[in-house]
Structures are given as structure tokens and as C-alpha cells.
């Protein structure tokens, strides 16, 4: 971990700081726009002392937690920024066959995590709105990208990479701990079916989902593949943003979470097996194992139980995501839970023997 002090406010981001991180003398910088949030994104135009430099960026995005009040009131946000910096320093350099933002420098200290990335908008990339649905072909490309990550780390675990601790499952269990209260809040949208109003049973299913994952399907996950964490390249491919939740788990976590968020209910129902087969074929082509959902019942069991990953849209706290997004993705999640009998698949399964 760096001993130096990383910028905690935008005022600390200077031409001199960029010079030290980019390895090229910077003459001046211009802060062109900002997107504020849990992790804020500040955009800069850079001018170098020696004029244009083809090997260095001129338009960048600096991602960090730049709000001291946020850090004081929500200190966990620092761990997310640190985790994303770890992705760019330790994971991104070895991952093939996947699209994500180019990072020019990343680092962390005990109080900060920061990344200097290419400004995707300047490269002709675009971003989805709060709510949308996309063609099946687009989701096919998304699962191809995820197969690239999964194949690279197939079969590995936290035992192999102790620094990749699971920061995702505990967060979801904490959010779901107030299930009974959350789903009964006034103005709750949409109304959940009766079986999803039973917080005790649903939390039991969530606990067993995390505890009883089939190790045959374990790999490194992006972890948070919903519509808000993707972008589209100029040639129409999907890239993945926000690498603060990567951890080891079932490969189908990434797949069903992405699919549910990106497709209409009708398209997911009509094409999900086609998408699953495409993912499995791509996984094998890129060096992962070969799986046959027709001849191997464990594939479909793990696939169906992995829809539990969408739990966040059932119990999402106010302010974490927009109400518009929660409403639509909650509806899509309920449909998937109904279709795949997710709670029953998990709770009716025999408990693993020690």
C-alpha cells in the first residue's frame, strides 16, 4: 500500500500530480466536468510540456472518493475505491478477451483508492440510461466478455488469492437483514408475491445460496454486472465498469444478473437458454471447462439458484439506486424468481454433508 498521501479533494489534483503518475511532464490541466457519487468521477483535459504525446492520454477520468464528509460518514466507501484500484493494478493486466476501461495509473493508501482512466466518452463510448432493455445479441456479447474473465481464473478461490476477500456477500446479507420491513414500506413498488414477503424464509435461502455454492463453477466474478455498470463501445460491444465488487463465486452469478437487468422479461424467457449455451461454449473456447446443460443436471441447478443474486432489486434501500431502476428491475427479478422457482430450488436441496 502506498505511503504517499493520495488526493482527497479535487483541489489536490494538479498538473504536478498528473506528471508524477503519467510519467510525462504536464503543462496544464482543465477540469471539464464532474460526476459526483459514492465514488466520484472527475474529467480532465491534459496538455503536456512537449506538446502532443501519442503514448499518453489527453482526456482522462479520475475516479476516487473526493468528499471528506462522505468518507467520515460512510467509511466503507474507501474500501470500494481501494478494491477498484486493485483490479487495475493486479487483475486487469492479465485478463484477456474482455473489455473494460484502460487505466493509466492506479494506487491506494490506507485512506484512499484512486484510478486514472481513459475518458470513455472521448473515445466514442456511450452509456445506458437508468432503465432500458437491449437486444439479445447485445447480451450475447456481454456474456462473451464475462467468459473471458471467468476462463482466466477458472477453479481458483480466495485460498489462491487471499487478498481478494469477499466484500459482496456480507453486504447483500446486511441489506437483506431488514427484509420484512423493507418490502412493506409505504409506496413499495411493485408489490411482491406472498412468498417473497416472508423475510425469514428468503433470508434462509440467501444464506444457503452463499454457503452452498457448487465449487465446480467457481471463478473470479465482476460481481455487479447490472445495467448501470456497462458501457457501449463505438463498434457496438459491451464493456464493464465499476470493479469494486470483484470476488470469487459461481460463474452464473455474473451471467444471470447481467441477463435479468438487460433484457425484457419476454426476451429473457424466450432466449435465456440460447444465451446460456453461448456463454458455456465461449467459456470452453477461451480455456475454461466444457459443460453440457442437457447431460449434467448440476449445471441447471446452479444456474437456477444463481438468480438469487438479483435479491438487491427486491430489498434495495432508498437512495442506493434510482426508484425508476429499482421498479423495473424488481419486476424482472420477480418474474425470474417465479420462472425458476429460485427460493424452492435452494431450500429444497439437500444440505451438503461435511
Asked whether residue 13 carries a pLDDT value surpassing 70, the answer given is yes
Asked whether residue 187 carries a pLDDT value surpassing 90, the answer given is no
What's the pLDDT at 110?
A: 82
What's the pLDDT at 354?
A: 62
Q: For 188, what's the count of Cα atoms within 13 Å in the CB-facing half-sphere?
A: 18
pLDDT for 91-115, tens place per residue? Answer: 999 999 999 999 999 999 888 899 9
pLDDT for 20-35, tens place per residue? Answer: 999 999 999 999 999 8
pLDDT for 113-157, tens place per residue? Answer: 999 999 999 999 999 999 999 999 999 999 999 999 999 999 999
Q: Which domains does the chain have, with CATH numbers?
A: 10-123 (3.30.200.20), 136-347 (3.90.1200.10)
What's the pLDDT at 111?
A: 81
What cell was used for 57?
492520454
What's the pLDDT at 30?
A: 96
What's the pLDDT at 352?
A: 81
Q: What is the value of pTM for the model shown?
A: 0.93
What's the pLDDT at 1?
A: 54
DSSP category for residue 226: S
pLDDT band at 39 (very low <50, low <70, confident <90, very high): confident
Q: Which of 286, 281, 250 is nearest to 96 (CA)?
A: 286
59-78 burial, b if ≥16 CB within 10 A, otherwise e? Answer: bbbbbbbbbeebbeeeeebb
Most confident of the following: 230-234, 316-320, 321-325: 230-234
Axis-axis angle for helices 265-285, 323-340 (nearest 10):
80
Non-local (6+) Cβ contacts of 342 within 8 A are: 205, 304, 305, 307, 308, 336
Amino acid at each position: 500500500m502506498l505511503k504517499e498521501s493520495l488526493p482527497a479533494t479535487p483541489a489536490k489534483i494538479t498538473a504536478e500530480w498528473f506528471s508524477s503518475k503519467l510519467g510525462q511532464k504536464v503543462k496544464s490541466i482543465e477540469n471539464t466536468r464532474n460526476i459526483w457519487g459514492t465514488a466520484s468521477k472527475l474529467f480532465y483535459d491534459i496538455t503536456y510540456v512537449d506538446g502532443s504525446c501519442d503514448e499518453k492520454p489527453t482526456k482522462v477520468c479520475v475516479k476516487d472518493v473526493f468528499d471528506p464528509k462522505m468518507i467520515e460518514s460512510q467509511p466503507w466507501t474507501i474500501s470500494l475505491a481501494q478494491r477498484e484500484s486493485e483490479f487495475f493494478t493486479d487483475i486487469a493486466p492479465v485478463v484477456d478477451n474482455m473489455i473494460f476501461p484502460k487505466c493509466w495509473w492506479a494506487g491506494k493508501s490506507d485512506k484512499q483508492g484512486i484510478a486514472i482512466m481513459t475518458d470513455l466518452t472521448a473515445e466514442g463510448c456511450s452509456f445506458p440510461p437508468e432503465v432500458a432493455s437491449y437486444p439479445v445479441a447485445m447480451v450475447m456479447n456481454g456474456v462473451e466478455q464475462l467468459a473471458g474473465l471467468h476462463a482466466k481464473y477458472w477453479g481458483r478461490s480466495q485460498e489462491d488469492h487471499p487478498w481478494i476477500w469477499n466484500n459482496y456477500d456480507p453486504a447483500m446479507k446486511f441489506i437483506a437483514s431488514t427484509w420484512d420491513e423493507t418490502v412493506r414500506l409505504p409506496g413499495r413498488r411493485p408489490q411482491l408475491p406472498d412468498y417473497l414477503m416472508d423475510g425469514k424464509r428468503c433470508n434462509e435461502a440467501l444464506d444457503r445460496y452463499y454457503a452452498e455454492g457448487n465449487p465446480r463453477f467457481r471463478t473470479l466474478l465482476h460481481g455487479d454486472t447490472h445495467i448501470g455498470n456497462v458501457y457501449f463501445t463505438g463498434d457496438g460491444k459491451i464493456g464493464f465498469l465499476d470493479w469494486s465488487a470483484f470476488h470469487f463465486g459461481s460463474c452464473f452469478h455474473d451471467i444471470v444478473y447481467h441477463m435479468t437487468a438487460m433484457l425484457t422479461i419476454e426476451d429473457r424467457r424466450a432466449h435465456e437458454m440460447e444465451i446460456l449455451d453461448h456463454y458455456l461454449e465461449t467459456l470452453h473456447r477461451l480455456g475454461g471447462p466444457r459443460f453440457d446443460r442437457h447431460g449434467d443436471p448440476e449445471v441447471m441447478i446452479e444456474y437456477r439458484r444463481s438468480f438469487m443474486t438479483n435479491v438487491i432489486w427486491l430489498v434495495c434501500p432508498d437512495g442506493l439506486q434510482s426508484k425508476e431502476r429499482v421498479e423495473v428491475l424488481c419486476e424482472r427479478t420477480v418474474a425470474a424468481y417465479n420462472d425458476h422457482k429460485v427460493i424452492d430450488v435452494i431450500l429444497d436441496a439437500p444440505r451438503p454433508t461435511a
